[in-house]
Chain A
């Protein structure tokens, strides 16, 4: 699409961002509330010489984008909770084999088929721990159609730079709302491509990392004769099923995220400079939280908001810092029965209390109810039985 200002829904913005950043392979299976991404791709791919496939299920969708990634393409799939659950095994395969790709999960109410058309945020921990084994992951949480665009671009760039599947964890509200979206020009857009080997095929070790812990990636058909396996593998990519190789490989895969988290981590702070109470919110709920902060400020409460933009890696150092520096409390507002709240609690190390404003799905918190909750915490924290 031409650069400019559009009135666009979140899912369309996501599809357009993928195209803008060079995605030429897309495979997906229809599911509410993510289907519009697939439909947009079907419409747009002929003109960009892209390959789009409606697969037989989500197991196939994620396998197909991994295949395309190893064919040298930038590839993406989109789904919602039920499909995301099906993708968990190959999410692990992509992490283990360091396959760059982007998985969009537009969250709806669960568990199971749940509330197909309505908002929820129940997949936070699934993106972190949903696949078996120990992994390091990167997950972005957009809060507006504009961020559906910007963070899709960033998700691709991170996937390419660090060689891993990156999740864009959206929700039904953000994906379906229509708002102003600015599409940048080619010059304004940052596009990162995977590192290619600089050695000859004979000397190339496909899983030997550079200093940033990321190995350069040769793809199929480039003459390197690569072998890719989900088994524990050595630097040649050969299966080596022993403790030593396992320790070396898994440690590197986790450190790849940890040691680069200064580069990957993103969060936004809103009016936190002098805040006594901070709301932690992400995705659609952060929109209510922002409003609630303004309303509470008008009533004389010093409150602010911290919004994780990457929920993994999590802004743990920043939360710890705020907790130590005399904060009264954190209030975590999320559309689930408490997932991110445990992370916040962990990071405060007991220096200040963490409260939860849960919601089971179907709608987002209203600013008013958050203000009410903030009022209780702000004025009564520390009193018996409060708040």
Chain B
């Protein structure tokens, strides 16, 4: 522990010393997917982000999609740091702008299997407008939202998913705003695949991610994850384990549940796959119309 605190793992000197060396963490089956020279990561002990990331990588591996055809786009936040640890084409955008960037990337190169990986604040506060419009367009990419009910990176402020009464650094006397019900927002905006899991439901999460990766169109997966540092310690869940227990004791799996009726207001957590439907993607619709115009004009 003491070494961790005193050494600057991100200094150029340290990194150049470590280049090509076995970092002493042993080999992990998913190591190839990570930029090993960027490990250790910045996330806190007990944070749920590692679970979501490894679930994503497992799902990716299961799909067999080649790494060079995979891109991840993140915004700003603790979750936004995911992009920087992946050994694939990865983009760490400005706060809230991962989705429109991914829209350009995916439409610019339709062969890239593109996933947006970001936090609740990034995707639904500053980036909320982009989310609903990308879902409406049904652009073919996936959005994974790690919902830790707060702005972790900036030190535990309340955000658009914070339960009303929770105490945070910006709601020291409890809040008074209603949180978003993310699956409801996604489904109402046109997402073709909508699911919610927690970091307690790892196997189901991996399956769901794999389904989303293989599915055409705008797919949305919300993953509830502990943030002991920013959120848990002010809301009675001091460790990541406390939050995991809370997920275990309060979750109910209900596939096909009405996504408008799965609000999280501090009580039961309904998890499962809520929407899985087929609809022509933005690219398909546009391709068809543009082709018809070209045919009419007699151009190739």
Contact = CB atoms under 8 A, between A and B. Distances in A.
Contact of A93 (B94, B109, B130): B94
A171 to B, nearest CB: 27
A66 B86 CA distance: 20
Q: Which of B12, B73, B87 has the most CB of A within 10 A?
A: B12
Contacts of A64: 100-101, 103-104, 107
A25 B107 contact: yes
A66 B101 CA distance: 6
B197 to A, nearest CB: 27
B89 interface: yes
Interface stretch (A70-78, A336-344, A362-370): A70-78
A223 interface: yes
B11 interface: yes
B35 interface: yes
A228 B86 CA distance: 11
A41 to B, nearest CB: 13
Interface of B is mostly: helix
B19 to A, nearest CB: 10
A228 B88 CA distance: 11
A300 interface: no
Given A67-B108, A221-B109, A57 B103 contact: no
Given A60-B100, A221-B89, A229 B84 contact: yes
Contacts of A223: 68
A64 B94 CA distance: 12
Interface in A85-137: 89-90, 93
Interface in B101-116: 101-109, 111-112
A93 to B, nearest CB: 5
A51 interface: yes
Nearest to B291: A46
B56 interface: no
A89 B94 CA distance: 8
Nearest to B72: A227
Q: Which of B87, B100, B286 has the most CB of A within 10 A?
A: B100
Contacts of B94: 63, 89-90, 93, 230
Given A47-B294, A63-B93, A227-B83, A27 B112 contact: no
Contacts of A360: none
B36 interface: no
A254 B289 CA distance: 44
B105 A70 contact: yes
B67 interface: yes
B92 A231 contact: yes
Interface string B64-86: 00011101010000000001101
Nearest to A61: B100
A225 interface: yes
B290 interface: yes
A59 interface: yes
Given A59-B97, A93-B93, A227 B104 contact: no
Nearest to B289: A46
A238 interface: yes
Contact of B104 (A71, A219, A226, A230): A71
Contact of B109 (A71, A224, A242): A71
B133 interface: yes
A59 B89 CA distance: 23
Contacts of B103: 53, 55, 60, 63-64, 67
Given A221-B68, A221-B69, A227-B84, A68 B108 contact: yes
A88 to B, nearest CB: 11
A360 to B, nearest CB: 33
A147 interface: no
A53 B107 contact: yes
Given A220-B112, A221-B68, A223-B68, A71 B105 contact: yes
Rank and list the top 4 A-B pairs by shortest CB-CB distance, nearest first: A67-B104, A71-B108, A68-B108, A64-B104
Interface of B: 10-12, 15, 35, 37-38, 67-69, 71, 73, 83-84, 86-94, 96-97, 99-109, 111-112, 129-130, 133, 286, 289-290, 293-294, 297, 299
12 contacts: A47-B293, A51-B286, A55-B103, A59-B96, A60-B99, A61-B100, A93-B97, A229-B91, A238-B38, A239-B84, A242-B10, A244-B12
Given A63-B100, A71-B106, 6 more contacts: A60-B100, A68-B108, A75-B108, A90-B94, A240-B12, A242-B11
